[in-house]
Amino acid sequence: MTIYALSSGPGISGVAIVRISGKDTASVVKILTGKSLPAPRMASLRKINKIDTSELIDEGIILWFPGPESYTGEDMAEFHIHGSKAVIDALHASISKIQNCRLAEPGEFTKLAFQNGKINLLKAESIADLISAETEIQRQQAIKIMNGKSADKFNNLRKKLLKILSYVEAKIDFPDEDLPKDILNYIKKDFDDVYKNIIKILDDQKVGERIREGFKIAIIGPINAGKSSLLNHLSNREVAIVSEIAGTTRDVIETHLNIDGYPVIVSDTAGIRDSKNEIEKKGIKLALKTAEDADLRLVVIDAKSVDFTSVLKNLLDENSILVVNKSDLIKGELNSEIKKFYPILISVKENLNIDELILKIKNKLKNKFITSDDILITRERHRQHLEQCLDNLKNFSIKNDAEDFDKAAEDLRLATRHLGMIVGKVDVEEILGSIFNDFCIGK
Ligand SMILES: Nc1nc2c(ncn2[C@@H]2O[C@H](COP(=O)(O)OP(=O)(O)OP(=O)(O)O)[C@@H](O)[C@H]2O)c(=O)[nH]1
Ligand SMILES: [Mg+2]
């Protein structure tokens, strides 16, 4: 099948790009332009005609990328046309009438690139991340991984395991021969190295995932404290209903914000109180769960009627900020009990001290989520494979010590498999290759 799709964003634009990939790409270009193929990778201005009536659709630049030197590895072409809905629709309609051509599915070009060995799975994922990056920190993370930062690391660790595996396999094949001492030392050293590295990679406070998905901030507190007002203020629009009626918010209301380059998801929640209402009770349960799962909690209370239940006190830890709202309604000092928690006094209504609150949030984020080159995990998928790899390595170690080499080898194979699955590489031939290349049986 030959696939096609609009690759530039939807909506009106100066130029739109329609990409085509598959073995009939050359004929699509020839049919629509009525001319022979342009030179590979050279921008060529062509008239583009409707397939059935030969009526002119538009004039645009055609780029022809013969496979395998293309993004997907197949023959590909790009039509750079004027970016209106009508031009794009007309071009799509004409391509769809050509035999074996169909509209691409989401991500299909990148999927083809992966299947054809042009990119690994980590790169495919990071391309998706780069496309959806909304903040600078997300862009930086995506581009580093696209450049192979984590793939190189995982491949190296995997290579070491494959080498150890080749020695263990040799031990199985030649049980009467002892492995030389230096090889035994080598196995031990490399095994420890891989093991420690994986533990270090896993101990990352989930920063990579947080950067990709957004840091979670929960606004929690008693009814009517001004939680929804604060959410609306931070997001600069009316996301949540604000009213003086106690218990207005019932569901968790989420908005995505960019706080100085940090991608955050702020959740407004139901006010905490002793309620008999079933729906409200559900909302309160959800609120507490949201607060528990959050990276940072803004515990908002009302300056005038400080209602500071133990439930809320328990939520105050180093990942929380106590926000005392409605400062416009009080005169004088806060009581000393509250002062203990280093509160920040604000008024959403009068826009007092909100900038300080934002600064405090930023500092908390900065301290908690220092990114470094050690951050290699950006998805739960990576974490799961690494954890499974670690389990298999533990099992290997026990069985290897007990000289149960058959079973130990199996655990090691599973461990390498999990590392391979992160990068999208699982190949039995490669394991065999490593055995025969590195181990000279005749010695
Ligand atoms: N005076 C004053 N009133 C405020 C301030 N912030 C919010 N309010 C008012 O307080 C009332 C409650 O505000 P909400 O934002 O709905 O409070 P909430 O915490 O979301 O309440 P629930 O959803 O019921 O838990 C509204 O009438 C707001 O206008 C403030 O800084 N000063
Ligand atoms: Mg509310």
Considering only CA atoms, which of 42, 34, 110 is closest in space to residue 80?
42
For the record, the structure tokens of 262 come out as: 């940090």
- For residue 263, say if its preceding peptide bond is cis, omega within 30 degrees of 0: no
* Cβ of 273 below 6 Å from ligand 1: no
Which ligand has its closest atom nearest to the C-alpha of 240?
A: 2
Cα of 279 from ligand 1 centre, angstroms: 21
CA distances from 228 to 196, 223, 266, 282, 377 (A): 46, 10, 11, 18, 34
Contacts for 425-431 with beta carbons within 8 Å, 24 or more apart?
425/120, 425/121, 425/155, 425/158, 430/162, 431/162, 431/165, 431/166
What's the CA dihedral at 156, 160, 161, 164 to 10 degrees?
170
Cα of 379 from ligand 2 centre, angstroms: 32
Task: Give the gyration radius of the chain's Cα atoms.
Answer: 30
Cα of 373 from ligand 2 centre, angstroms: 40
Sign of dihedral through CA atoms 344, 347, 350, 355?
positive
| Nearest-CA residue for atom 32 of ligand 1 | 326
pTM of the entire predicted model: 0.79
* Cβ of 115 below 6 Å from ligand 1: no
* Cβ of 357 below 6 Å from ligand 1: no
Counting from 1 in the atom list of ligand 1, the atom nearest the Cα of 241 is 16
* Cβ of 275 below 6 Å from ligand 1: no
Delineate the domains of the chain, giving CATH numbers in brackets.
2-115 (3.30.1360.120), 149-204+376-438 (1.20.120.430), 211-368 (3.40.50.300)
Indicate the residue type of 209: E
Considering only CA atoms, which of 442, 415, 382 is closest in space to residue 159?
415
Tell me the C-alpha distance between 72 and 299, whole Å. 50
Determine the pLDDT at residue 443: 33
* Cβ of 222 below 6 Å from ligand 1: no
Which ligand has its closest atom nearest to the C-alpha of 229?
A: 1
Contact between 235 and 198 under an 8 Å Cβ cutoff? The reply is no
Contact between 226 and 240 under an 8 Å Cβ cutoff? The reply is no
Determine the pLDDT at residue 436: 38
Cα of 142 from ligand 2 centre, angstroms: 35
Cα of 265 from ligand 2 centre, angstroms: 17
Task: Tell me the average confidence (pLDDT) per consecutive run of 10 residues in the chain, 443 residues long.
Answer: 92 95 97 96 97 92 97 97 96 96 92 91 91 90 92 95 91 79 85 96 90 93 95 93 92 91 92 91 95 94 78 84 93 78 93 94 80 82 96 95 91 94 70 41 33
Which ligand has its closest atom nearest to the C-alpha of 220?
A: 1
* Cβ of 227 below 6 Å from ligand 1: yes
Cα of 118 from ligand 2 centre, angstroms: 50
Considering only CA atoms, which of 160, 210, 201, 128 is closest in space to residue 383?
201
Determine the pLDDT at residue 102: 96
Cα of 326 from ligand 1 centre, angstroms: 8
The best mutation among 220, 231, 232, 242 to test binding of ligand 1, ranked by most ligand atoms within 8 Å of the C-beta, falls on 242
* Cβ of 249 below 6 Å from ligand 1: yes
